[in-house]
Chains A and B, each alone.
Chain A
Amino acid sequence: MEFPAALFPSYFGAGPPREEGGPAPVAGWGEHGQVLEGRPGRRQVQPAFVPRRGATGERWEAADAAAVPVLLPSAGCWIPSPVPQDILYRSSLCRKLRAGKSGATLDFTRQLGHFFVDHPEDAFGSLGRLLHKNFYLGNSKLKRPARNSTIRMTALVEDIDRLEARRGCPRQHLASRLRWFSHLCRDWLFEVPLGLLADCVHEELMQQWSNLLFDDSLTGGALAWLPPEDGRTPVGCLVHPGGQAMNHLYFQDVVLEELPRTRGSPAWFELSGRIRQVAAARVNGQDFVGVRSDYHCGVWRVPGKRGAAPTPLQVIRTDVPASCLTVSPHLPGELSVCTQSGTVYLWSVETGLQQLRHDPQTMFFRDHSPWRWSDFTGHPRVLSCADRTGLQCLDARAPKRCHFDLFKVGEEAGCQQGERVVLPMYLGRAHPSQYLVTTQFSVYVLDERLPLVPVLKWAHMMKAPPLFAHLMPGNPGRSHKVLLGASRTQELLLLQYRDSFWAVSSGGSQSACQLAGTPQKLQSIAGCLQHLPTQLPHRHHLLQQRLTAPAGGLAATLQEDGPHKSMLIFQLSEAGDVFCQRLTHKTAQPPAPHPQPSPAVPSPAAALRYRRWLRALYRAYREPPRHTWPPSLSQRRLFTRRDLEGPAGPSSLQRQMRQRLRQTMEEGGRIQRWEPLVLQPPPLPQTLDPAGGPDPLSARLTAAWAGDWEQWWEERTSFSVAQRQRALRERRRRQKRAQGRRSLSASFTSSLTYQSELSELSDTGPPLLSPARPPILSQESSPPAGSSPVRSPATSAVPDEALLSSQSLRCRGIPKERRKTLRDYLSVWAEGPPEPPEPPGSQASQLCIPSSQSQLSSASQTRRKRPRMGF
């Protein structure tokens, strides 16, 4: 394609945009922009000028009154996404505020309140249980003794109701009781700390709100049309998402007739995420379809022949949500992927991913949006990458070195302040080096050969930013058509432009790009509401909600049937509906004095479509989802009658059990064992806090907090080595002794139980302390136990333990008969649970005790796990 011999004049400045910005409702009308001599070099009486905007374009008129549904609504309800009313403050005070400049106010308290009401267990679970005796919800006055420990909540609830009624009242502060209550329990009442919870709710609310204002995850649109290969058979393929979660991908053959109709059942795939974007391109006669969801991107190949099944080729997973997926129109199986972290990849099905750029910052100035986009250019190895501030092109062979700026939000393109890139698109099918860039205010056509200076610019005046665009290239000499679509408002705009304004036959050289004809608004899905038969109010509401759902994609095709040319435009809604409209081309003729308005009522065929669609829609809504029915099972076939006949009456045991069950339920307790005789549950295991000192974990953490962890560790290891040695020695001795005592009578041993238990607790005491035989002093000469398989590290020493140990008592020369008294005395001093504290040494030794010898209480068993948990 040749470069235009002369371009329309324009100023070129550098730097940030100077023009003050803002939505301008009519900025696109009544302007020629610039003019250029139409046929330079021709000798003629007068030069002929052509305008940049305002040339005549083709006439396209709607064939029917409104868009008609192409697909029947799928079974299963559609869950509408939140609307502004759900999260905005509704009081009168705030309406006033909103009228001013402050913008919308999010109803944060209501959302937090919803959380408390919907998830009371998560919000107040344990404290609620603890306090429920102290909260009284009746209407009567509280009696004197109860008043000391109970407060009457009814008054508080009344106060809250009153507060709700007085919202916006300047004397709101009078609700002193509420203030007092919230002041009192704000800090401890909530299961999740209130500040943390509020942060999370607020963050989510802001996210939802910004999504409502502008959801850029849909950029590009999730609808694609794969045209028939040769153009002769009028069967194309519509690729669209569906299912309740929009996670099914459908490939539906569609026959293009007066009203397009589906043919056969679609091929479909279930994906693991909501489909955000469907992109398609045709390379070498095959269609490649890229599908983007938040964390996965996939690519399918659809053979040129219709009816052949699409084959999935590859899937990639991203850690950060992907924001863009485009398919190369040049090379088969090549795509480009962008993630919100600012990474751009060239993805080839054969060679995998190649990272082209990684930059979390925006390119030309700082903008908070993590949205990134990338597309292909006229050179198969050069990709464009975009963020909200502009576009750059990079060479995939040397992405760091070879790049140039294609578009900048700034004075270069004559942008307004606050203008941001919304959707870039490569216009390769119309012109190999042209590019479309849309912002919330304008559309630009750029030429790669003349970067930064738009060859065409026009203020599109759309109410919502155009997230979808579709190009329909015109034959040489005819205009190219571009469709722009917005999501929230469902707007559809048809533009025409020419990349040359005199016919190719009249001269070799190309001319500058020119906007042709006036932009044309097309019918939206919601527009068909008025043409549907009258509905009952609740159904009307349902229908309205469904039809006004934000648009989710856009596709179109040109159809030429001899002299009749028509354009079919498909629009996808977030509810999964695909609607279609046909425009017919009116051949150039002197404009009629009264241009035919589009038909006022739908054609009979369209009306039939509507009726069918409505019927299917209501069927889908009426049918209760099956899975919500309570599951039931007939037992008639499982058991005979005799089986089902129970005994005449409950046995005494059963009675007893029932009684016990009832009693426990009343107490709110639990049954631990079903032994009939033990009615009292065994005492709960004691709390794990050892009284004598902090447990090893706490000690370690305290040390670490204080900063002398290393020292602590040193002490501990040296200590434990000595201790382990002792423990090992002790164990050996015990083993020897046990072997020798096997013959002793059981009664004798049992009489010693008390003392044996006691000695278990002392760190080095012998397991069975016979009163007849005093324990032998530990042999200092026994070999060190460095190689012993003691895994559990010893804990810190407790002075009381050392005092209590029988050995140490003996060492101090205390007579045997007095040792018990002393021990009892000291145990009184050791505060805490009646059970003596866990001796560090015993742990080590217990671990080494063979199972046949272990006589451990349940308490010590539970304690045994702790040190391991600490590590």
Chain B
Amino acid sequence: SSNEHKLNFKKSKEACLSYIQDALLQKQWKRAAEFLTCYVESLEKDYSREHIGPSEMIWRIGTEILWHHSQSSMKEFNCFMEQMKTLGVKRYLKVCLEHVFHLLCNGQIDEAYQNLSLAESWRFGEQTAIQDKEMKLIQAYRGLLDYYSWSKQKNVLLEHGEDGFSDLAVEQEMHGYFRKAAVNLKEIIKIPGVWDIFVKCYVDLLEFYGDHNEARQVLNEYAYNSKFPANPNAHVYLYQFLKRQGESKKSLISALKILHDIVPSHELMIDFNTMLQKSKKRKKRRLGLEVIFAALDYAGWKENAKAWRCLARQVKQIVISEKHLDWIKQEWNSRKDWWPAFHFSRYLAKRDWQENKSLSYEKALVAGILLGKDCKYFKYVSHQGCKAQLKRFRMLKKFVNRHNPVYLRISG
């Protein structure tokens, strides 16, 4: 009966698919390709209602095979892609986008640009939400490519400008690229998302043409709009922009303060700490201590000698001046139950000494002050340092011994 036929057809289709899957997962591209030619038949009687239909399956499998197959060429790939575009209307834009990505990764920027332009002009009935998103992405990538063309022209002009010779046609072309890029890039960065490269390129364009207000607004929007994800890069871009603009310390500090609040382990925290330490205000220096302590809480900072140097420097300052010991005490209070095992164990002392002497020096200084001269880390490192006749370590031992009462005041 036809029903049975249908069932059998479905079964053989599934079996074929599982063979293909198996071959793909074992990197047997040739075998997979052979099965795929059989699977193409499944397009004929497509009764499935699954959310990935046979046409999309063929596109995905075929693409994967052509990426890896030893005998495939770019020409074949393009040909296959063109066929796939006509196969499924719903997935046209998606296939186009993927095709463009492949061209871009293979350095065929011009072909990619052409494909993007073609895809942009595609219309078919009412656009679904997904298609709308895909269309926006296509436009954005075209804007990105326009930006690269603009940047190329700009470089040409700048080089020529050095010669004192300006080419009006080139300049015109450059401005044309700017307009095209700016329109598309501006569109995509309004929608919530992660648009790091688009924002960077757009801001670069704006800065070149001196539209700093617009640039600042874009960056502020990207960093502070609550509909966007809490992307640390948004704050980093804003901070870098402010720095380029030569903004005051105060605004730089406030930008970094927000970054500190959302990502206390960001690498800019070292800059932030240095900036705060130099400040004359007590409150800022206090914040600096907090920032560096918080950063060193993270496992990723454990072996960061720079950060330990920052902490050691600030702690040393405080101890020598004997002012604000309560700052250290307060920071130490919430850490004294786990920092010793996390940072200052004997095992780590041995390892740090073997692998990074300057790290062990800074850490030993901090350990000696926070945990006293009997702390395992300090004892091991200073002993090894003295044994190796390093002057630095002898000074360190003297310093810690002299300031041992500080430890009692901190821990008490």
Contacts and interface: CB of A to CB of B under 8 A. Distances in A.
Contacts of B345: 284, 332
Contact of B57 (A2, A13, A14, A26): A26
Interface string A449-464: 1111100000001000
Interface stretch (B210-218, B296-304, B314-322, B380-388): B296-304
B298 A379 contact: yes
Given A26-B52, A519-B25, A380 B342 contact: yes
Interface stretch (A260-268, A546-554, A591-599, A717-725): A591-599
A433 interface: yes
A109 to B, nearest CB: 29
B68 A9 contact: no
B105 A379 contact: no
Interface in A177-194: none
B28 A29 contact: no
A22 B70 contact: no
Contact of B155 (A12, A40, A43): A43
Contacts of B347: 284-285
Contacts of A631: none
B104 A378 contact: no
Interface stretch (A47-55, A310-318, A857-865): A47-55
Interface string A484-524: 00000000010000000000000000000000001111000
A583 interface: no
Contacts of A381: 297, 338
Nearest to A48: B107
A284 B348 contact: yes
Contact of A432 (B18, B30, B61, B299): B299
Interface stretch (B119-127, B259-267, B275-283, B355-363): B259-267
A643 B351 CA distance: 80
A583 to B, nearest CB: 12
Contacts of A5: 196, 233
Nearest to B29: A595
Interface string B1-42: 000000000000000011011101111101000000000000
A36 interface: yes
Interface string B185-203: 0001001111111101000
A397 interface: yes
A221 B365 CA distance: 43
B104 A330 contact: no
Contacts of A9: 137, 140, 188, 193-198
Contacts of B105: 32, 35, 49-51, 54
A501 to B, nearest CB: 11
Most buried by A among B30, B129, B338: B338
| Interface of B, helix, strand, loop or mixed by DSSP | helix
B334 interface: yes
A401 B26 CA distance: 49
A13 B133 CA distance: 12
Nearest to A20: B51
A30 B194 contact: no
Nearest to A31: B98
A89 to B, nearest CB: 21
A329 B105 CA distance: 38
B230 interface: yes
B150 to A, nearest CB: 12
Contacts of B231: 7, 450, 453
B299 A30 contact: no
Given A24-B50, A30-B63, A453-B229, A397 B297 contact: no
A385 B104 CA distance: 40
A109 B109 CA distance: 68
Given A378-B300, A453-B229, A520 B52 contact: no
Nearest to B198: A9
Interface string B368-383: 0000000000000000
Interface string B44-88: 000000111000010111111001101100000000000000000
A597 B30 CA distance: 12
B399 interface: no
Contact of B101 (A22, A35, A47, A380): A35
Contact of B109 (A33, A46, A397, A431): A46
B194 A12 contact: yes
A428 interface: yes
A34 interface: yes
Contact of B63 (A18, A21, A29, A331): A29
A593 B25 CA distance: 18
Contacts of B30: 594
Contacts of A285: 347
B133 A380 contact: no
Most buried by B among A3, A4, A43, A330: A3
A30 B59 contact: yes
Nearest to A447: B232
B102 interface: yes
A412 B25 CA distance: 29
Given A7-B233, A34-B101, A453-B229, A378 B299 contact: yes
B196 A7 contact: yes
Contacts of B98: 30-32
A30 B104 contact: no
A704 interface: no
A433 B265 contact: yes
B15 to A, nearest CB: 12
A67 to B, nearest CB: 15
A25 interface: yes
Most buried by B among A35, A36, A431: A35
B194 A1 contact: no
A250 interface: no
A451 B233 contact: no
A798 interface: no
Contacts of B140: 9
A412 B266 CA distance: 23
A11 interface: yes
Interface string B333-360: 0100010011001011000000000000
B376 to A, nearest CB: 11
Contacts of A34: 101
B228 interface: yes
Contacts of A428: 299
B327 interface: no
B332 interface: no
A452 B227 CA distance: 13
A7 B194 contact: yes
Contacts of B107: 46, 48
B299 A11 contact: no
A808 interface: no
A37 interface: yes
Contacts of B59: 30
B299 A37 contact: no
Contacts of B194: 7-10, 12, 453
Contacts of A49: 101, 104-105
Contacts of B70: 591-593
A22 B52 CA distance: 9
A453 B50 CA distance: 27
Given A30-B61, A449-B232, A380 B192 contact: no
A329 B231 CA distance: 27
B182 to A, nearest CB: 17
B148 interface: yes
The 10 closest A-B pairs by CB, nearest first: A30-B63, A432-B300, A521-B25, A30-B60, A6-B196, A284-B347, A32-B101, A29-B64, A49-B104, A29-B60
29 contacts: A5-B196, A7-B231, A9-B140, A9-B193, A10-B194, A11-B191, A12-B228, A18-B129, A21-B51, A29-B24, A29-B64, A30-B59, A32-B105, A35-B105, A37-B197, A284-B345, A379-B297, A380-B342, A381-B297, A428-B299, A432-B298, A432-B300, A452-B230, A453-B229, A453-B231, A518-B24, A518-B27, A521-B26, A598-B26
Given A331-B342, A450-B230, 4 more contacts: A46-B109, A380-B342, A449-B265, A519-B25
